[in-house]
Structure 1
Amino acid sequence: MIRLTRRGAIGAGGAAAALSAAHAAPLAATAPAPRETVALDAGWRFHLGHAADPARDFGFGLSHDSYAKSGEIGTPVAGAEFDARDWATVRLPHDWAVDLPFMPFGPPGSEADRSGAFQGFKPVGRRWPETSIGWYRRALPIAAADAGRRLRLEFDGVGRDCLVILNGFVVASNESGYAPFTVDITDVARPGEENWLVVRCDASLGEAWSYEGAGLYRAVRLVKSHAAHVRRWGAWVRADPVPAGAALRIATEIDNHGPACAARLRSTLIAPDGGRLARLEAPLDLAEWSGRTIEQRLDLRAPALWSPATPQLHRLITEVLIGGQVVDRQERAFGIRFARFDPDRGFFLNGQPLRIQGSCNHQDHAGVGFAVPDSLHAWRIEQLKAMGCNAYRSTHHPPPPAVLEACDRLGLLMLCETRQMSSNAEGLSQLERMVRQARGHACVFLWGIGNEEIHRGTPTGARIAATMKRHIRALDDSRPVTEALNGKLGQGAAAILDVMGCNYHLDEIDAFHAANPAMPMIGTETGSTVTTRGVYARDDAAGLVPAYDREFPSWASTAEQWLRFYAARPFLAGGFVWTGFDYRGEPTPFERWPENASHFGQLDSCGFPKDNFHYYRAWWSGETVLHLLPHWTWPGREGAPIEVWAHSNCDEVELRLNGRSLGRRAVERLGHAAWTVPYAPGRLEARGYRAGRPVARARRDTAGAPAALSLSSDRRRLAADAVAVVRVALVDRAGVEVPQADRLVSFALHGDARLLGVGNGDPRSLEADHATRRSTFNGLCMALVQAGPGGGAIALEARAEGLKPALLTLAGLG
């Protein structure tokens, strides 16, 4: 049995009004929200169970009558007297799979070996019963004063099948590893007494064809509210264009889990600048144990609009009042924007054409697996925006709230996609929870109902798609529906969709458009160039592919190929490159031990940019870009030809070696400039020109032997729980980064913070993510530092044998 013993594990209807935003009234001070939300991040104990042996699964299932009597689950873990002091202490988010050892799944070249590569060679699944069950346990803070309140648990996502047990009662089960869910625990909670929450997670059956973690890898919270309260995700705003501005439709879902009462709904709208735009009130006659949806409407003249360039967010404050007292209050951000697709001209936002420049993204990150903290989610989206992305596809699952909020705040549109394309009760439940969670977010502009489904081109697929679309329409009538089809564009579900989603298969696109000229189209998955950061020659034995935009699987294309194809067809709304970041599993083209991570990303798994990142930045960001590749440190290759590329949006690029011009090259739109240069140590320099004038420079200097470590981070001041991504580089005596030498780096952290995880972007690495040391890969590795609640100075020290150490200081804000 593989057992986790590490302590301190990482977890890480009112009257319409017409108002002008330019004459907003100041917002009066408001009383604290009467509802209480308690984050359940800390205080958990964790232990592995066993999927095949009840005796090693804490007795669960040992007796066939475990469910015979309600409140008797058949395991001592659920009882208040259970002693879990020998269990690991963990903090959410937590992914136990990332801490499991890497393990071959079968002989080299076997189907089991290939399956292991796709799952990141982590022993999770039915073949690994001793590491596929996880038990979590903690006390719940329910005071005597909470008697009479409604008590609910909110889970943002659990991997995967789970039972939720409170005080010995099974209060919920959940099948999806990604869809959020809510559990009302009022009946079995014991205010003023001990309350023990237990979650049993079973990751034996997965949902993805790549690594997907295991456990409580997203947030859990306890919500205490009045019997009359706004439902989770129950208040949201839709905006329709009108000649004078925007017509807002405010929908509020109220549940009354108590006696009948007379109440009022008050909705307050706050402008991006903090001024109050409007306050709407409506009477509420709430029947006993009932639910109601209240519609309120408001016309705004010249409102501030949300867009990727100006992601201006309003706020909606929703209050329920009884007898003049506020008994429930919610606040959420929303954006006002008008989106539409045109079958001939692509996508329009706020009346202006907008080319979709997106990336597809999985959940995981180096150092933490699936247990990505909120601030790291936001950091990842910032990197995508720096690349020039204006859109994000949540592939292939409902996203966590932090991703939705970051896309709202930073200005990335989102294609929000469900995992299970099914019209059965479970599939529709997952779909409904995804839509309800995301429909209030300005960023979401498309609903995705499936990805490369085997039944996509069949009558069955069409019927399922029609049911799912109908279900979405009942929840949200403001956004179109798509499905990502890899081929079979004119078949099955295709006729049901509002927007055709195209995965690769460029050869089918023109024919489909000619046959279906009224159907808008978008590239839901494109590109799939495979590159390894810092590698410039293919090495099949080592499992490495070059960083030139050249290698791709049979179904895919290079970055240049797909961008040029789409740019020549205005009817295509743009597309989403596969992928933004490298991710665990699916290590095309090397599907074998020890390859355990993909090569598809424009950034590696640590978030370090690859060279293609700069290609997209040149043509997407709107900034002047000049990027040279490869590095210029090739000892022993003097005189050998080196292929040099420049990713740039300049008109021309001139290349110089040690001061001598090697000529200018014109840069074609969506292309690159290239030279073949006999290697000589020194300085390789590029100069970019527009209209004959120099506008940019880039250089590569030959590095000497590694002499020191260098630490850097774009985060130097950290709020509590915020994460700094620390870049660790090997440098020579002159401070030039050494691109090919590698060393083992050890870390020591001082202050109120923790070393959350480490990584290096090597798709073959078998080193631990939760550790105090990491080898560099092509000169780089990464450390994740998470600030604690106390604030104060934080210092990260890095050492490597024979090198000058480095120290990075950060400020914790508490």
Structure 2
Amino acid sequence: MKILFSRTFLLLFIVLSDLSFAQNKSDRELILIDKDWRFSFGHLYDTQKDFGHATGYFSYLTKTGFGDGPAAKDFDDRAWRKLDLPHDWAVEQPFGESGSFSHGFKAAGKNYPEKSIGWYRKKINVPESDLGKIISIQFDGVFRNSKVFFNGYYLGTTESGYNAFEYDVTAYVNYGGENTIVVRADASMEEGWFYEGAGIYRHVYLKKTNPIHVDQNGTFVTSELINNDATITAAITIKNKGKFKGSIDVVQKILDAQNKQVAISSENILAPEFYKTIDYSSKLRIENPLLWDIDLPNLYQLITEIKKEGKIIDSYKTSFGIRTIKFDSEKGFFLNGKSIKLKGTNNHQDHAGIGTALPDEIQYYRIKKLKEMGSNAYRCSHHPPTPELLKACDELGMLVIDETRLMGINDYHLNDLERMMKRDRNHPSIFCWSVGNEEWNIEGNIVGERITNVMQDFAKTIDPTRPVTVGISSGFKSGISSVVEIMGYNYLGNGDIDAHRNEFKKQPGMGTEEGSTFATRGIYFTDDAKHYQSAYDKKPRPTFYSIEEGWKFYAKRPYLAGMFIWTGFDYRGEPTPYGWPSVTSYFGMMDVCGFPKDNVFYLKSWWGKEPVLHLLPHWNWSGMEGKEITVWAYSNCDEVELFLNKKSLGKKKMEINSHLEWKVSYSPGTLEAIGYKNGKKVLTAVQRTTGKAENIKLKLDKENVLKGNVAVVTVEATDKNGLNVPTANDEITFSIKGGKILGVGNGDPTSLESDQFIDDISLVAIANLKEQKMANAVLSQQLSNFEENEWTEAFKDRDYKKQAPSYIYKGEFELKNNALTNKVSFFYKKIGVETVVFINGNKVEASTDDAQKYILNSNILKQGKNTIHIAATPLQKIKDWDVMNTNPGIIQVITPAEPCKRKLFNGYAQIIIQKEDNTKEVVLSASAKGLKMTTLSLK
């Protein structure tokens, strides 16, 4: 008897377009608010270093609106760093041996309390015309344990760093004026055993809707294929946050990829009551639909309009695809009725140079790289992904296993699962939900069985169209593996897969993790002293299998749907089998930049559709003349013949899913392979001994960046003939005009070089503030001499009803260095009506753009202790309970970053650049000692 999971399908993520809503005259707006945030580090446990947050008599948890420190609406953040989102503060930090092994030894997190708390602040204006709308702030993800405030009002806490969340701020808005959003992220605790980044690393939106609107993630589109037609069920949840009672019209239209309407329905229904929701669904029919497939990822769009009294008050877009999926316990996986072997990879979400703060374009870049390798499936390991990743998979044709973070049956676990599924269930790319991974404590016992049953059945209440899996690694006999819908085998060395299948013949299965191979790009002799692993595909451990062994096992078993390799890309953290100073994994088919290791070409040979012929290793082995080198050929040709300097070393027949090997006595020159199909020459591959590096080559990866302002540039060194030098490790220095450099990388797992080059901003407090009374309200423009014994502690026991005409204040601040290149500013916080400021006895003038900012020239500053005097007429209390400011301000020291640079690793490096707004041309320059400088112009 077979068990079949055949369900049509669902759709894609909710993408809201301001333009289209304006055209529909809808009240809905979704505004990206990633630009112009302020950021500063707080402190994990020292409240003084955490800007005094949560130290007030009334805290934000005791009385509404009492957010203090940076959470207060009027907190002065002018001295904080200005940045755009997404932002990952962990990737900006240097490496440290006391950092987390699993997180790549970055100097952030619990061992670094001064770099474990991040504060973000942003000011927005909301017009008076928005009064009456529902105003929300929507976050795609903050790592982690985020507390959010709006105008000083505490909105809530979201512990997990991977789930999206939203807060209604309608009641707190200052309509027609300025509003302040504040986020405090606490990244001191890890959720995973891999690099997770820190901060607001995904997008943030301001959302505006009519009180009657489609609820957040409130659509669910499924389809059923009958003959050549599709019946679409468009289910929606409508919410009413207003007091309107009466009927509304619900209009649902389906548009094809050319925006042509192909179906429509309309119905008049009663609106939900105040703060209630109702569920509504309609049936729509599409004739001869174009199916979503991995080769032709056709998409449709559902437009849901809510009308009140003939006016469109809400318009909600849902992108979706039409397709069928089926798991068969005998024959594997089927997409649209066609048998498909899953050729998947597991992946984490970080990339070279930029950590977890991936621009949308990099999501497309990475999925395209995997597709070029022949991969057709992606497992989100081990957490909900960013929406843009799923959007890229929908548009490019990549199947997805969507995975929640933690197994359990309580609200924390099930609520996270529900939020992920409701957000993602319209993506056609998703074919399976995963509710757990390698939960060793429960995998083989009754607790795991109970939890799996609850999560599995709970998932079906949210989406009955897709099956559920769990990745299991501690034996395939009992517990979770006996009840999970789709068996997820993690490594065939961990149990007898065939034996499990024979016991549970009705249970479909797939390899959710396989092929955990160690390899370093461009390295062909393992060097444990340097922490480099040979790139030849070998068993990493006696009980683990190589990529080739793993694929052969799954390829010849029809009952197994396919396998997911660990991993597609290297990632920060888990530098197994080494430790410090290795900082990235060795598992990837590609390195952290996306540069292919040789295993890519094995997979491309047997996963892809195009002819492939690849030779390894490179042929630069000076000093090894006459010594035996192992040469491999990856190919899907029938036969391959190898030549060294035009002398044949033999022709060999290729077995399916295999590779070919020769032992070759090294001699410089040309190593050439010729591939034959049906006896005819079809391909040639060459490895040449190159000359020394003489030139820098910059290449824009046009094929892999779909759109937008972000570009990926490959950097390499070439010899006089333009050949890549595979052993080059020159340090390249970069400069840019018309854009900015987001990050640099090279794929070296032991590189401790900086990922990013940003100005260092330090905030120096003014200490030991004292005061003397002045007899005159007219402030002197020159600093007088004051009796030292007359200074008293500033503001102590101040009688605000009997203040002096003016005061002179004296304080100190410490400068660790006084470099000429530093930019030092005093951000004054008002302690007087009129003010004159002196630094080391010199009067300083306020900035023209900010009357409370003073730019300090280095010639009046000293290394070490500096003195500040502030002459001011006093502020007066209007009400007795007014709290008067007693903080004179902060000294900001900006130390400019050194020029951006990176060493080549085995011939290559990568730089990610972003075009500035309103710039027509970006010019990237690269130089290195002994190499010819080059530039790349992007228009």
1:534-568 deviations in Å (ceiling 9; x for gaps): 00010000000011101424553101101111112
Task: Confirm whether residue 808 of structure 1 aligns to residue 794 of structure 2.
Answer: no
Structure 1: which 5+ residue stretches go unaligned? Answer: 1-26, 106-114
Q: Distance in 2 between matches of 1:226 and 1:146?
A: 10
Which residue is equivalent to 1:519?
507
Deviation, structure 1 residue 244: 3.9
User: Once the two structures are superposed, what CA deviation does each residue of 1:31-70 show, in whole Å capped at 9, x if it has no partner?
Assistant: 3543111111111111111111111111123357424543
Q: Give the structure 2 partner of residue 780 of structure 1.
A: 908
Deviation at 1:719, TM superposition (A): 8.9
TM-score by length of 2: 0.81
Question: Structure 2 vs 1, CA of residues 130 and 269 (structure 1 numbering), >3 Å: closer, same or farther?
Answer: same
Counterpart residue identity of residue 120, structure 1: G
Secondary structure of residue in 1 paired with 2:460: helix
CA distance in 1, matches of 2:258, 2:419: 32
Contact 1:169–1:188, Cα closer than 8 Å, also in 2: yes
Q: Are residue 418 (structure 1) and residue 404 (structure 2) matched?
A: yes
Residue among 615, 629, 632 paired with 1:628: 615
2:371 to 360, 382, 385: 385
Query: Equivalents in 2 of 1:90, 1:540: separation in Å?
Result: 41
Match of 2:784 in 1: none
Change (3 A) 1:29 1:59: closer
Separation (CA, whole Å) in 2 of partners of 1:471 and 1:284: 30
Conserved in 2, the CA contact under 8 Å of 1:80 and 1:194? no
The answer on 1:278 being equivalent to 2:251 is no
Matched, 1:100 2:87: no
Alignment of 1:449-464 (within 5 A): 449-454=435-440, 455-464=442-451
Pair 1:41-2:34 in alignment: yes
Find out whether 1:580 has 2:568 as its counterpart: yes
Partner of 1:469: 456
Q: In structure 2, what is the Cα distance between the partners aligned to 1:284 and 1:140?
A: 37
Aligned: 1:152 with 2:122: no
Pairing 1:712-731 to 2, within 5 Å after superposition: 712-715=699-702, 721-731=708-718
5 Å-filtered alignment, 1:248-287, equals 248-259=232-243, 260-286=245-271, 287=273
Q: In the TM superposition, what is the alpha-carbon distance from 1:28 to its structure 2 partner?
A: 14
Give the corresponding residue for 1:111. none
- Report if aligned partners of 1:716, 1:809 keep a CA contact under 8 Å in 2: no
Q: Which residue of 1 aligns with 2:755?
A: 769
Corresponding residue of 1:4: none
Aligned twin of 1:5: none
Residues of 2 paired with 1:29 and 1:395: CA distance? 38
With over 3 angstroms needed to count, the CA separation of the structure-2 counterparts of 1:530 and 1:477, relative to structure 1, is: same
Deviation per CA, 1:660-709: give whole Å up to 9, x if none.
Answer: 11111111111101111111111111110001001111111111111010
Partner residue in 1 for 2:419: 433
Query: Alignment length, in residue pairs?
Result: 774
Match of 1:237 among 198, 202, 221: 221
1:328 aligns with 2:456: no
- DSSP-derived class of the 1:634 partner: coil
Tell me if the contact between 1:55 and 1:62 (Cα under 8 Å) persists in the aligned partners: no
2:280 corresponds in structure 1 to 294
For residues 133 and 62 of structure 2, the distance between their equivalents in structure 1, rounded to whole angstroms, comes to 27
User: Partner residue of 1:747?
Assistant: 734
Corresponding residue SS for 1:55: coil
Aligned residues of 1:266 and 1:320 also touching (Cα < 8 A): yes
Matches within 5 A, 1:534-573: 534-573=522-561
Q: CA–CA distance in 1 between the matches of 2:513 and 2:156?
A: 36
Tell me the residue number matched to 2:15.
none
Counterpart contact for 1:265–1:319, Cα < 8 Å: yes
Is the 2:291–2:297 contact (alpha carbons within 8 Å) kept by the matching residues of 1? yes
Give the match's secondary structure for 2:656: coil
Q: Deviations over 1:280-319 (max 9, x none)?
A: 1122311222211111112333211011011111111111
Q: For residue 750 of structure 2, what is the amino acid of its counterpart?
A: R
Aligned equivalent of 2:331: 345
Decide which moves more: 319-328 or 460-469. 460-469
2:63 to 54, 70, 90: 70
Asked whether the 8 Å contact 2:382–2:403 carries over to 1, the reply is: yes
- 2:567 maps to a residue whose letter is T
The within-5 A match list for 1:357-376 is 357-376=343-362
CA–CA distance in structure 2, aligned partners of residues 52 and 773 of structure 1: 35
Equivalent position to 2:172, from 182, 188, 208: 188
SS at match of 1:187: helix
Which of 657, 666, 676 is residue 644 of structure 2 equivalent to?
657
CA contact (8 A) 1:272 1:304 kept: no
Matching of residue 354 in structure 1 with residue 304 in structure 2 = no
Shift of residue 123 of structure 1?
Answer: 2.9
Aligned equivalents of 1:142, 1:719: Cα separation in 2: 33
Rate the CA distance shift 1:743–1:33 in 2: closer, same or farther, 3 A: farther
Please tell me whether the aligned partners of residues 482 and 504 of structure 2 are also in contact (alpha carbons under 8 angstroms). Answer: no
Query: How many angstroms apart in 2 are the aligned matches of 1:118 and 1:28?
Result: 45
The match for 1:8 is: none
% identical aligned pairs: 42
Tell me whether 1:501 sits opposite 2:488 in the alignment.
Answer: yes
Structure-2 separation of matches of 1:295 and 1:554? 55
Letter in 1 for 2:565: V
Task: Show the counterpart of 2:120.
Answer: 136
- The runs of 5 or more residues in structure 2 that have no matched partner are 1-19, 758-899
Q: Secondary structure at the match of 1:565?
A: helix
In the other structure, the counterpart of 2:475 is: 488
Counterpart secondary structure, 2:363: helix
Q: How far apart, in 2, do the equivalents of 1:308 and 1:244 lie? A: 20
Whole-Å Cα distance in 2 between the matches of residues 375 and 737 of structure 1?
27
Aligned to 1:733: 720
Deviations 1:185-224 (A, max 9, x none): 1121221122111000001111111111100001110101
Which range is displaced more, 123-132 or 477-486? Answer: 123-132
Distance 2:541 2:582 in 1: 16
Which of 205, 225, 233 is matched with 1:221 structurally?
Answer: 205
Provide the rounded CA distance (Å) in 1 between the counterparts of 2:572 and 2:311: 51
My pick for the range that moved more, 499-508 or 629-638, is 499-508
Match of 2:806 in 1: none
Paired residue type of 1:781: A
Aligned to 1:122: 106
CA RMSD, 1 decimal: 1.8
Corresponding residue number in structure 1 for 2:696:
709
TM-score norm. by structure 1 comes to 0.93
Larger Rg: 2
Structure-to-structure mapping, 1:641-652, within 5 angstroms: 641-652=628-639
Counterpart AA for 1:116: S
For structure 1, which segment, 57-66 or 359-368, has the greater mean C-alpha deviation from structure 2 after superposition? 57-66
Distance 1:28 1:543, change over 3 A: closer
Counterpart amino acid of residue 86 in structure 1? A
State how far apart, in whole Å, the 1-side matches of 2:918 and 2:109 are. Answer: 40
Distance 2:921 2:566 in 1: 39
SS at match of 1:182: strand
Q: 1:209 aligns with which of 193, 196, 202?
A: 193
Superimposed CA distance per residue, residues 743-787 of structure 1 (whole angstroms, 9 cap, x where no aligned partner)? 110111122x21111111111111111131111111111100112
Distance in 1 of aligned mates of 2:704 and 2:602: 31
Q: In structure 2, the residue corresponding to 1:140 is in which secondary structure?
A: strand
Equivalent position to 1:315, from 288, 301, 319 = 301
